[in-house]
Chains A and B, each alone.
Chain A
Amino acid sequence: MSLTSLRVFFIGGLLSYRALFGWLSPWVMIPTFVIAPIFQILLFTYIGRAAHLRSDEFYVVGNALQYASIPCVFAMTNTVAGERYQSTLGAVLVTPAKRIPLFVGRSLPVILNGFLVAAFAFAAGGAILRIHVPASSIPALALVLFVTATATTGLGLSTAAIALLARDTATLSNIVFGTLLVVTGANVALEDLPGWMSTPAQGLPLTHGIEAARRLADGASFGRVGGLVAAEALVGLLWAVLGYATIRLLEWQSRIHATLERA
């Protein structure tokens, strides 16, 4: 990779994140990334208590990881939608910069954001509901959170591609968030879901990561969840490749049909 591509990857990615992800103001960031995930954890924990179903730990782990999808999906989608909103999408796409550093570089700050949101939600939710996690599991849990945030960002790259076709990405991202909430086992164990939901969930990010995190929180060693972590990483990679390929395809289509600003 050339020095220019490295600059596009790291510096361009960071600049894009700061410029396009409009949630970095403390007035948005604190309610959205700090307070809301705690209330989501509490909401489902209390529903679980009322239904006498699962332990508090089940909901803390599930919702902490699932909430990473807020930054991961919304921020990645804004890498395209935000450029259009700022009227810079055309300018970005006519640059000679290589596309992999251009788009994938934008994912690094997002992954870090998703990881921090999930880690904070896990720690705060765990402290409020007094769940106990073995200290020996914490490094492995951190790795699982990171892999899960990375995989979810891969899905976000795919929703970013759809933003080349559709204007209303806020609705799209919310629907993706809701789908992940229902089918990935964040609040309902996969065995309690019908097959038409639990089977496709195997191909979605979060599903394997949440399962791995739950086992680690129960004291399992990293070796026992290695397969789940690998599956989570593979799922994320496939979504990222799909997203990147779709972006390239739609970019090419938009040049041929002059439809870049029509969406």
Chain B
Amino acid sequence: MRNVRLLAVGWVMHMKMLSTSSFNGLLAIVYPIFFATVAFFIYQAGNENALAYAGLGAAVMGIWGSTSTAAGAALQRERWHGTLEVLVTSPAPFSLVLLPITIAMASIGLYSMFSTLLWGRLLFGIHVPVHDWPLFCASILATILSIGMCGFLIAVAFVRYRTAWALGNLLEYPVWMVCGFLVPLHEFPEAVQWISRTLAPTWGMRAIRDASNGTPIVTDLLVCVALGAGYMLAGVILAERLLRSARAKATLSLT
């Protein structure tokens, strides 16, 4: 129960902090809209029937956009604030302290998702039909959680790099590209499609599209959640090892 409370309080606190930041809040909403706008114009001019496809994909894109760079920089931010050592030495497991941060980052993507859907509706007349609202909402929730867990793994993996934000930023375009947000996966070579299948956002996007179309989503949803859980497990193990090493070598602050 204490762990659940820690996750919930951490999530609320970081949502508030991120919402007041123009970089993580405002830009997380506006930046994906630029890319969505370009995609809408391209599809409008070339294949108008695919506009609803692009509308939904562009909306979900923002969840990843708000997570990748921010998660990469999450621990560096704590380091700058001088709070990383405090967090590491607190009695709570470090993973339970970090996880709500990255899930909050993914949750900020909800703002982007709604604003992109609204932008598409008002400017491009894109209507995204939703046949099954409960499953649609469940698939969005699963996508946010799995992307948050992916962000957790990224944050932990980049803890030793001062410029982790740049590495996180680097992951933005590839995931937008290969997870089926704006480009159907069959457009890519087979090897790229295999990479896509190992990424939780691919399955989350499929589940959201299936819920929107009214087709069964169970498999997509389960794979999305399972991959997210896998990222979390990998992140927890990695965090323990890296923190033990940082303590032993006194390298946590990277000074």
Contact = CB atoms under 8 A, between A and B. Distances in A.
Please say whether chains A and B are actual partners in one complex: yes
Interface of A: 23, 25, 27-28, 31-32, 35-36, 39-40, 42-44, 46-54, 168, 170-171, 174-175, 177-179, 181-182, 187-189, 192-193
B23 A51 contact: no
A204 to B, nearest CB: 14
A28 B166 contact: yes
Contact of A36 (B22, B38, B169): B169
Interface stretch (B45-53, B88-96, B98-106, B241-249): B45-53
Contacts of B169: 31-32, 36
Given A46-B183, A168-B23, A171-B22, A31 B38 contact: no
5 contacts: A52-B46, A54-B46, A171-B22, A175-B27, A178-B34
Contacts, number: 108
Contacts of A188: 38, 41-42, 45
A188 to B, nearest CB: 4
B167 A31 contact: yes
Interface in B26-51: 26-27, 30-31, 33-35, 37-39, 41-47, 50
Interface stretch (B9-17, B133-141, B145-153, B173-181): B173-181
Q: Size class of B's contact patch?
A: 35 or more
B244 to A, nearest CB: 24
Contacts of A53: 42, 45-47
A139 B86 CA distance: 57
B42 A31 contact: no
Contacts of B47: 50-53
A27 B34 contact: no
Contacts of A23: 166
B114 interface: no
Given A28-B163, A50-B187, A192 B38 contact: no
A243 B47 CA distance: 41
Given A31-B167, A53-B45, A175 B30 contact: yes
Given A25-B163, A50-B187, 11 more contacts: A27-B162, A27-B163, A32-B166, A39-B173, A44-B42, A48-B42, A51-B50, A53-B46, A54-B46, A178-B31, A193-B41
